Amino acid sequence: MSTYARENRPKEAATDERHHEGPSLAGSAASGRLLAMTGTRPLFPPHVQFFTWLFVICLSLTPVGVWYKLVHPAGFSVRTWVVPLLGVGLVQLVFLYVQSRCSSESLTYWEGMHFVSYSMYGGTSYVAFFLITPALSVLLLLSVGFAIYGDIRRDRGLPRRHFHRAVHFFYRNRFNQY
- pLDDT reported for residue 131: 84
pLDDT for res 63? 87
25-54: average pLDDT: 65
The pLDDT tens digits of the residues spanning 127-155 come to 778 888 899 999 999 999 999 999 999 98
Question: pLDDT band at residue 159, thresholds of 50, 70 and 90?
Answer: very high
Q: What is the mean pLDDT of the chain?
A: 77
- pLDDT band, residue 69 (cuts 50/70/90): confident
> Where are the chain's structural domains?
45-59+92-172
Question: From CA 163, how far away is CA 108, in angstroms rounded?
Answer: 10
- Single out the residue of 111, 133, 127 nearest to residue 57, CA to CA: 133
Q: What percent of the chain has pLDDT over 70?
A: 72
Q: Which residues of 28-178 form beta strands (DSSP E)?
A: 29-30, 33-34, 36-38, 41-43
